[in-house]
A = this chain, B = another copy of it.
Amino acid sequence: MTSARVIAATQAKAKVLVEAMPYLRALAGRRVVVKCGGEVVDDAEQSASLVQDLLLLKMAGIDVVLCHGGGPQISRMMERLGLAPEFRDGLRVTDAATMEVTAMVLLGRVNLELVGLLNVHGPEAVGVNGTDARMFLVEPASPELGLVGEVVEVSAAPVERLLADGYMPVVASIGMDAQGRPHNINADIAAGQLAAALGAEKFVLLTNVEGLYESFGEADSLISEIDPSGLRGLVDGGSLSAGMLPKVDAVLAAVAGGVPRCHILDGRERHALLLEVFTPEGIGTMVRP
């Protein structure tokens, strides 16, 4: 193949790269907070795709922060240890034994694996959790939930220093109370609060749905853009599944804290993050004021 033909064949590539330019321009030097579920590490292909996307964003000069939960893995480990998971209003009742498992799984399984994958080609990522430098300070959410904490103070300093040092922080959703004891916190909401505290330009929630729907279950009713009051309307109208409620709370917390664009995407799609950030096509649901 002559060089001329090679070039002809690659003009389509050039178009993609050129198209990405205004997005690169807008986000370089800005902060993007991405939240994924723990299940991403159960699927090698999905985690590889996510890791690629995150590293590409980082290379493009974006300050990326990854937050994660670990629900499925926690439940599985509890079972192996003969503990019975118990939920109240969608929140895991967390006694000392449950908290021990939660911490072990989030840090020793999910966080460690994500950090390891991100560091295969270089010293890119560092794991942190809310106990480090008192990042997520909590108060008990309710007496009957045990060691479930509500984050009452977010200290973005450790994450900001990691970003300044050129590392991608990988944040596990554990909080600490004033006595230094680890608490279980909702990963979506903590991520939204952190996005606000960081002054993030974008907060991306990777879920296992395509986005929000006007009518739950009707694929045609996928909402591409909505504002916070519309979002509250959906909640009040009861058209959201129970699992989406903390995600909506997370988005509302981020928007209220000044994050101009929040996105609910389907994390199971390959490179959903990359496409959302660098191409003009709308994916999932965008929330902005």
B178 touches A120 (CB 8 A): yes
Q: In the complex, A13→B125 CA distance in Å?
A: 26
Residues in B with CB closer than 8 Å to A134 are 119, 122-123
Q: How far is the CB of A105 from chain B (nearest CB, A)?
A: 7
From 109 to 156 in chain A, residues with beta carbon under 8 angstroms from any chain B beta carbon are 109, 111-113, 115-129, 131-134, 155
A91 beta carbon closer than 8 Å to chain B = no
A240 beta carbon closer than 8 Å to chain B = no
Closest to A7 in B: B269
CB < 8 Å: which of B25, B60, B131 contacts A61? B60
B282 touches A6 (CB 8 A): yes
Q: In the complex, A266→B123 CA distance in Å?
A: 36
Q: In the complex, A167→B118 CA distance in Å?
A: 24
CB < 8 Å: which of B157, B161, B211, B274 contacts A17? B274
With A7-B275, A274-B14 already in contact, the answer to whether A131 and B107 are too (CB < 8 A) is: no
Residues in B with CB closer than 8 Å to A278 are 13, 17
Residues in B with CB closer than 8 Å to A245 are none
A59 beta carbon closer than 8 Å to chain B = yes
A111 touches B122 (CB 8 A): no
A281 beta carbon closer than 8 Å to chain B = yes
Residues in B with CB closer than 8 Å to A17 are 16-17, 20, 56, 271, 274, 278
Which 3 pairs of residues, A with B, have the shortest CB-CB distance?
A: A104-B108, A116-B180, A14-B271
7 residue pairs A–B, Cβ–Cβ below 8 Å: A4-B210, A10-B283, A25-B121, A25-B122, A77-B104, A115-B132, A119-B133
